[in-house]
């Protein structure tokens, strides 16, 4: 093994490591692995390549092996020690708990036993209580008694530190103890806590359920935006939205009253962090006639906050764009009482995958806006981006309130969504063919008139 002060080796090591890390981030673990192994060989006292190798596999035994190698390379590296400790406990079948400095669960998370047995019963008559959007507390449907929920604004403690050793995801506690049903049609899984009945899939409206006996490790939600409106208000919002628009048929406002409307909490991941991206280029400090090209380089930073990634596969991105924004500063620390009587869909996009899409989104944004960020007034050429560093990555598992509905108009099916926090409506609106034709006609006629006018005037 050549000594590490050899500058050629240093350079090769850096290149291999950067390429390997890039491939991991892009989700291409097969490309990443040989690069990282090579990097580890070139610099035997650095734990970094081994740490990244542990992120290239889901197999705990393999992860353990990589982390052992990381430990051998650098026994003082705290990330390695934490990763190993968490992984050993996970492999021993115990719940992964916080390490203080590492992945910290919310301080007010209730103990496991109490949570699993919690039933929301009226203290006065023993009837079932459900969460009431108008009063933001639990309401007994039988005697009308209100019971307060001690809501906490989600402090920073709800933010989970995102280590790149992703297998250290915090284990399940509350979520797994609930009744979870899978929709036979769309595959979405829904938590039905005590006090609600499983009628239709909140996501697609199907009636067929499959019980899921498979237990999979599932995170508890960290934060939630509780529903702010009842069904009647959501319908009213849809009615107003349907009535808008120049090409809307006149006979559709009644649809809001008859459409099939379903509430549910939808799973989202949010990410915070900082991206540092290196860049280099050549700048002309001479002039056009006698150019003098000098190299320039530097680092751009992007701080991102509450970057929202859907936790459901096939969740239509357009829907999110249309009903956005949510006031994410109003999130509360999750408590099961908010779900009393309201179904919640569970995530089927893993944290690691969501984190990759978040990183991809931020990287794309920075690349796209790189030139204006550099603020170089002279001519430049050969602009390149290089190494990327992520720091302070934290994530939250967030539940957002949505109403979704479907209605039929003249034999066609339409879907509509309502933001359960703000009442903003998004979806497809039927169009009146006659009105569309009339507008097209008017526009064409105006264009023809303008053309005719221009023609006469220029003659």
- Site residues (vs Zn ion, CB under 5 A): 122, 124-125, 127, 140, 142-143, 145, 183, 185-186, 188, 201, 203-204, 206
Q: How far is the CB of 108 from Zn ion (least distance, A)?
A: 27
Q: How far is the CB of 314 from Zn ion (least distance, A)?
A: 11
Q: What is the dihedral of CA 171, 174, 175, 181, to 10 degrees?
A: 140
End-to-end CA distance of the chain: 85
Report how far residue 362's alpha carbon sits from residue 302's, in angstroms, rounded to the nearest whole number. 8
DSSP-assigned beta bridge partners for residue 262: 404
Q: Is 226 helix (H, G, I), strand (E, B) or coil?
A: coil
**206 vs 448 by CB, closer to Zn ion:** 206
Q: How far is the CB of 139 from Zn ion (least distance, A)?
A: 9
Residue for token pair 């170089």: 376
Could you tell me which residues come within 8 angstroms of residue 453 by beta carbon, excluding any fewer than 6 positions away? Answer: none
Instruction: Using DSSP bridges, classify how beta strands 412-419 and 189-191 pair: parallel, antiparallel or unpaired.
Output: unpaired
3-state DSSP helix/strand/coil percent for the chain, to nearest 5? 35, 25, 40
**186 vs 300 by CB, closer to Zn ion:** 186
- The DSSP call for residue 62 is H
**139 vs 162 by CB, closer to Zn ion:** 139
DSSP-assigned beta bridge partners for residue 138: 131, 147
**56 vs 128 by CB, closer to Zn ion:** 128
Q: How far is the CB of 310 from Zn ion (least distance, A)?
A: 16
Q: How far is the CB of 319 from Zn ion (least distance, A)?
A: 15
Q: How far is the CB of 206 from Zn ion (least distance, A)?
A: 5
**108 vs 199 by CB, closer to Zn ion:** 199
Tell me the C-alpha to C-alpha distance, in Å, between residue 341 and each of 109, 199, 261, 326, 450. Answer: 21, 12, 15, 22, 60
Tell me the C-alpha to C-alpha distance, in Å, between residue 280 and each of 300, 357, 389. Answer: 11, 26, 16
Q: Is 390 helix (H, G, I), strand (E, B) or coil?
A: strand
Contact 224, 398 (CB under 8 A): yes
**127 vs 239 by CB, closer to Zn ion:** 127
Q: How far is the CB of 125 from Zn ion (least distance, A)?
A: 3
Q: How far is the CB of 212 from Zn ion (least distance, A)?
A: 13
**251 vs 314 by CB, closer to Zn ion:** 314
Instruction: Output the DSSP codes for 346-357.
Output: PP-S-HHHHHHH
**125 vs 285 by CB, closer to Zn ion:** 125
CA 367 to chain centroid = 21
């Amino acid at each position: 093994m050549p000594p590490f002060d050899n500058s050629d080796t240093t350079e090769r090591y850096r290149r291999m490591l950067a390429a390997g890390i890039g491939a991991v981030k892009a989700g291409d673990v097969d490309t990443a692995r040989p690069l990282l192994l090579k990097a580890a060989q070139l610099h035997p006292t650095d734990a970094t390549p081994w740490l990244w190798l542990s992120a290239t596999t889901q197999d705990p035994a393999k992860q353990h092996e990589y982390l052992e190698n990381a430990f051998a390379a650098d026994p003082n590296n705290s990330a390695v020690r934490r990763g190993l400790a968490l992984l050993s406990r996970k492999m021993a079948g115990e719940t992964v708990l916080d390490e203080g400095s590492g992945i910290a669960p919310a301080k007010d998370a209730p103990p496991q036993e109490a949570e699993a047995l919690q039933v929301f019963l009226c203290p006065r008559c023993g009837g079932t209580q459900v969460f009431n959007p108008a009063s933001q507390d639990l309401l007994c449907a039988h005697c009308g008694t209100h019971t307060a929920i001690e809501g906490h604004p989600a402090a920073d403690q709800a933010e989970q530190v995102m280590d790149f050793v992703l297998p250290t995801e915090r284990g399940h506690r509350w979520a797994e103890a609930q009744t979870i049903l899978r929709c036979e049609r769309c595959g979405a899984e829904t938590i039905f806590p005590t006090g609600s009945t499983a009628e239709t899939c909140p996501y697609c409206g199907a009636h067929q359920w499959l019980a899921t006996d498979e237990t999979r490790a599932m995170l508890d939600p960290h934060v939630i935006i509780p529903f702010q409106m009842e069904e009647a208000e959501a319908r009213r919002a849809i009615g107003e939205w349907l009535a808008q628009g120049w090409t809307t048929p006149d006979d559709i406002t009644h649809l809001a009253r008859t459409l099939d409307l379903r509430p549910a909490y939808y799973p989202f991941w949010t990410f915070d962090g900082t991206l540092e991206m290196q860049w280099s280029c050549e700048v002309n400090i001479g002039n056009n006639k006698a150019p003098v090209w000098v190299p320039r380089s530097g680092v751009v930073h992007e701080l991102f906050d509450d970057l929202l990634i859907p936790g459901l596969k096939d969740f239509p991105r357009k829907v999110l764009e249309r009903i956005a924004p949510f006031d994410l500063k109003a999130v509360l620390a999750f408590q099961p009482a908010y779900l009393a009587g309201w179904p919640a869909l569970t995530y089927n996009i893993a944290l690691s995958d969501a984190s990759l899409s978040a990183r991809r989104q931020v990287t794309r944004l920075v690349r796209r806006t790189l030139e204006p960020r550099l603020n170089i007034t002279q001519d430049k050429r050969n602009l390149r981006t290089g190494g990327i560093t992520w720091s302070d990555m934290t994530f939250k598992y967030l539940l957002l309130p949505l109403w979704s509905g479907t209605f039929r108009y003249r034999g066609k099916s339409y879907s509509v969504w309502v933001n359960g926090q703000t009442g903003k409506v998004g979806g497809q609106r039927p169009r009146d063919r006659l009105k569309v034709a009339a507008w097209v006609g008017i526009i064409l006629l105006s264009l023809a008139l303008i053309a005719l006018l221009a023609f006469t005037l220029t003659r």
